[in-house]
Amino acid sequence: MASEAGLPPSETDDGEAADVLRLEIGPDAAGERLDKALSSLAEGLSRARLQALMAQGAVTRDGLVLTDPSARAQAGTYEVAIPPPAPAEPEPQDIPLAILFEDAHLIVVDKPAGMAVHPAPGTPDGTLVNALLHHCGDSLSGVGGVARPGIVHRIDKDTSGVLVCAKSDAAHQGLSALFAAHDIERTYVALTRGAPYPPRGTIETRLGRSTHDRKKMAVLRTGGREAVTHYDTTAIFGPAERPLAARVACRLETGRTHQIRVHLASKGAPCLGDPVYGSGVPAAPVREAMARAGLFRQALHAAVLGFVHPVTGETVRFESPLPADMAQLEALLTQL
């Protein structure tokens, strides 16, 4: 049984109000697959849509976030937060782009912090997609879908750095295959609170939506998806025996949502300025350096992107220097 009248608002990942659909699973449906049981009650929501909503942490029962569609349903009241739809067709906008490479098939840009990759609830425009539609014109039409044309991978809105986008179907298919096979060189630079221990190694976990906060990702014991990050502490700042901060190079083997931010936090060295995973307060000298540098976001930068061009077969590699806020912060940290 579904209750639709007077739906109270919830909140999406981007802060916009979402409708909450309440579904009552009775004893007769207990034991069925959860996605099947819920989709049979929710008119207009397919099992695939329910599965996607569960992956986003939008399904709860008694305040517990449920992310496993194959789990067995229990009798009770379930809440499904349905986010408002994103704009179907982003509009071209004349937004300057820092272009590192471009040919007929793909474009590589150096994305600034503060720019979302594609429109979503809460970020309807001003995105990389809006800028690409203006710059590339009709060459992006239909490539990768109407809402996210050309996009084959993403970096967080407040993470800066190198990103490749497809301009042709051949490039889109080829790049997607490379990312799926993890056959891409991706290195990020993070400035962290404290330093990870040991100073270098590999973090291999499963990542998924937090069961306590659906807006966050978390290391999970079961479920989720495999996530692998190779890291190397290239500099420490402050006393060697107890670093106040560090510069850490992270090489991605997989590319999960918030992967580096969660993995570094799991090592006790979150990115400086991270509003979501930066638990703990940096030492006073580090806080002062962050303020002087004007760092108001997570100190994470996609510095290197290398791959085999999916059409020409040429091996290409692109590097981006640290942006001004991170570069100034690092310079100040070296004085600690």
List, by residue number, the catalytic residues: 156
Of 196, 316, 210, 321, the C-alpha closest to 264 is 196
Q: Which residues contact 94 (CB under 8 A, 6 or more apart)?
A: 131, 134
Give the largest CA-CA distance in the chain.
67
Instruction: Find, among 278, 217, 223, 207, the residue nearest to 57 by Cα.
Output: 217
Q: What are phi and psi of 248, to 5 degrees?
A: -125, 125
202: tokens are 């590999």
**Angle of CA points 97, 98, 104, to nearest 5°:** 80
Are 252 and 229 spatial neighbours (Cβ–Cβ below 8 Å)?
A: yes
Short-list 296, 51, 307, 45, CA closest to 160:
296
Backbone angles phi, psi at 3, to 5 degrees: -105, 125
- Report DSSP letters for 131-161, one per residue: HHHHHHGGGGTTTT-SSSTTBS----TT-EE
Confirm if 317 and 305 have CB atoms less than 8 A apart. yes
Task: Please enumerate, as own/partner, the contacts of 31-38 that have beta carbons within 8 Å and a separation of 24 or more.
Answer: 31/72, 31/73, 32/72, 32/73, 33/69, 33/70, 33/71, 33/72, 33/73, 34/66, 34/68, 34/69, 34/70, 34/71, 34/72, 34/73, 35/69, 35/70, 37/73, 38/73, 38/78, 38/80
